[in-house]
């Protein structure tokens, strides 16, 4: 039998105010989801021990605020998590592919870089 624990917290927008009605995910080998209440709080009532990634993002086109944090559940409930959405930011740089001679160079795509805009 696996013992389950509760994970509770609040989702805050970038200025620190609670963010209501946003989907929160908890990922490990599978994904648990919940939605924040009107006061920004969330709860996962039955989570097994282990390392989990807690995340949220606002819905919308283009770059949107998002938050992610790793938590360790080990034998007890986790309360008082403050997950804060971060404003998107730009990163500039150059991607260099080194490929063997005669092999075509791969094309950069969103699949390779997530939300990276080329």
> What are 15-38's pLDDT values in tens digits?
999 999 999 999 998 999 999 999
| Residue 64 pLDDT exceeds 90 | no
**How many CA atoms are closer than 13 Å to the CA of 45, on its beta-carbon side?**
1
- Per DSSP, 40 falls in state S
Architecture of domain 1-118 in this structure: Sandwich (2.60)
Confidence of residue 109 (pLDDT cuts 50, 70, 90): low
Residue of higher predicted confidence among 114 and 43: 43
> What are 68-99's pLDDT values in tens digits?
999 999 999 999 999 999 987 777 888 777 88
What global pTM score does this model have? 0.73
Closest CA to 54 of 28, 35, 29: 28
């Amino acid at each position: 039998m696996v013992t389950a624990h509760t994970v509770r917290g609040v989702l805050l927008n970038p200025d620190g105010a609670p963010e209501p009605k946003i989907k929160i995910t908890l990922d490990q080998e599978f994904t648990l989801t919940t939605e924040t209440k009107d006061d920004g709080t969330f709860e996962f009532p039955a989570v097994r021990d282990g390392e989990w990634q807690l995340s949220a993002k606002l819905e919308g086109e283009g770059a949107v605020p998002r938050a992610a944090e790793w938590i360790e559940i080990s034998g007890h409930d986790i309360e008082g998590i403050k997950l804060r959405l971060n404003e998107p930011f730009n990163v500039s740089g150059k991607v260099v592919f080194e490929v063997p001679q005669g092999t075509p160079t791969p094309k950069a795509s969103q699949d390779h870089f997530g939300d990276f805009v080329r």
